Structure 1
Amino acid sequence: MIKLFLPLFMLLMITGCKKSELEASNSTAVHLEKLDEPKEAYQVAPPKAISEKLLPDENQSPITPKKMDTISKKIIKNGNMKIQVGDIKKAQNQVADILKKNNAYIQTEQFQNTDVDDNLDLVIRVPHKNFDALINSFSEGVGSVLSKNISSDDVTEEYTNVSIKLANKKIYLEKYRDMLRSASTTKDMIEIQETIRELEDEIDVAEGRLRFIDDRVNYSTLNLSLYKEKVRSSATSKIGFGSRFADSVTEGWNSFVSFLLGIISFWPFLLIIPVIIYLWRKWRTRKTK
Structure 2
Amino acid sequence: MKNPILPLFCLLLIHCSKSDGVVQHEAKADLMEVLQEDKNIPSENEPPPPPPPSQEQKRENSSKRSDTISKKIIKNGDMRIQVGDIKKSQGQVNEILKKNKAYIQTENFRNSDVDENLDLTIRVPHKSFDALINSLSSGMGSVLSKNISSEDVTEEYTDVSIKLANKKIYLEKYRDLLKGASTTKDMLEIQEKIRGLEDEIDVAEGKLRFIDDRVNYSTLNLSLYKEKVRSSTTSQIGFGSRFGDSITQGWNSFISFILGLISFWPFFLTIPLIIFLWRKWKGRRKK
**TM-score of the pair, normalised by structure 1:** 0.75
- Number of the residue aligned with 2:49: 54
**Matches of residues 134-153 of structure 1 in structure 2 within 5 Å?**
134-153=132-151
Q: Which has the larger radius of gyration?
A: 1
Cα deviation digits, residues 23-74 of structure 1 (max 9, x gap): xxxxxxx99x9689685431142012363511667xx989726121433211
Structure 1 residues 36 and 217: CA distance shift in structure 2, 3 A: farther
- Number of the residue aligned with 1:219: 217
- Number of the residue aligned with 1:183: 181
Q: Report the 3-state secondary structure (helix = DSSP H, G, I; strand = E; otherwise coil) of the residue aligned with 1:103.
A: coil
Q: Report the 3-state secondary structure (helix = DSSP H, G, I; strand = E; otherwise coil) of the residue aligned with 1:54.
A: coil
Structure 1 residues 76 and 38: CA distance shift in structure 2, 3 A: farther
For structure 2, list consecutive stretches of 5 or more residues without a partner in the other structure.
1-21, 231-237
Distance across 2 between alignment mates of 1:200 and 1:65? 23
- Number of the residue aligned with 2:16: none
Distance across 2 between alignment mates of 1:221 and 1:160? 22
For structure 1, list consecutive stretches of 5 or more residues without a partner in the other structure.
1-29
- Number of the residue aligned with 2:8: none
- Number of the residue aligned with 2:274: 272
- Number of the residue aligned with 2:128: 130
Distance across 1 between alignment mates of 2:250 and 2:72? 67
Is the CA contact (8 Å cut-off) linking 2:83 and 2:226 kept in structure 1? yes
**Matches of residues 25-174 of structure 1 in structure 2 within 5 Å?**
40-44=32-36, 45=38, 46-49=41-44, 51=46, 53-54=48-49, 64=58, 66=60, 67-68=63-64, 69-70=66-67, 71-174=69-172
Structure 1 residues 279 and 138: CA distance shift in structure 2, 3 A: same
Q: Report the 3-state secondary structure (helix = DSSP H, G, I; strand = E; otherwise coil) of the residue aligned with 2:146.
A: strand
Kindly indicate whether residue 262 of structure 2 is the aligned counterpart of residue 257 of structure 1. no
Superposition RMSD in Å = 3.4
- Number of the residue aligned with 2:201: 203
Is the CA contact (8 Å cut-off) linking 2:178 and 2:187 kept in structure 1? yes
Is the CA contact (8 Å cut-off) linking 1:65 and 1:167 kept in structure 2? no
Distance across 2 between alignment mates of 1:53 and 1:226? 64
Structure 1 residues 244 and 216: CA distance shift in structure 2, 3 A: closer
Give the stretch that moved more between structures: 100-109 or 60-69.
60-69
Cα deviation digits, residues 123-174 of structure 1 (max 9, x gap): 1110001101111111112111111111101111111111111111111111
Distance across 1 between alignment mates of 2:56 and 2:44? 22
Is the CA contact (8 Å cut-off) linking 2:47 and 2:189 kept in structure 1? no
Amino acid in the other structure paired with 1:76: I
Q: Report the 3-state secondary structure (helix = DSSP H, G, I; strand = E; otherwise coil) of the residue aligned with 1:53.
A: coil
Q: Report the 3-state secondary structure (helix = DSSP H, G, I; strand = E; otherwise coil) of the residue aligned with 2:84.
A: coil
Distance across 2 between alignment mates of 1:98 and 1:200? 44
Q: Report the 3-state secondary structure (helix = DSSP H, G, I; strand = E; otherwise coil) of the residue aligned with 2:162.
A: helix
Amino acid in the other structure paired with 1:247: T
Q: Report the 3-state secondary structure (helix = DSSP H, G, I; strand = E; otherwise coil) of the residue aligned with 1:49.
A: coil
Give the stretch that moved more between structures: 244-253 or 122-131.
244-253
Is the CA contact (8 Å cut-off) linking 1:109 and 1:120 kept in structure 2? yes
Distance across 1 between alignment mates of 2:260 and 2:34? 107
Structure 1 residues 40 and 94: CA distance shift in structure 2, 3 A: farther
- Offset at 1:225? 1.1
Number of aligned residue pairs: 250
- What's the % identity of the aligned pairs? 59
Distance across 1 between alignment mates of 2:47 and 2:106? 53
Cα deviation digits, residues 183-222 of structure 1 (max 9, x gap): 1111111111110111111111111111111111111011
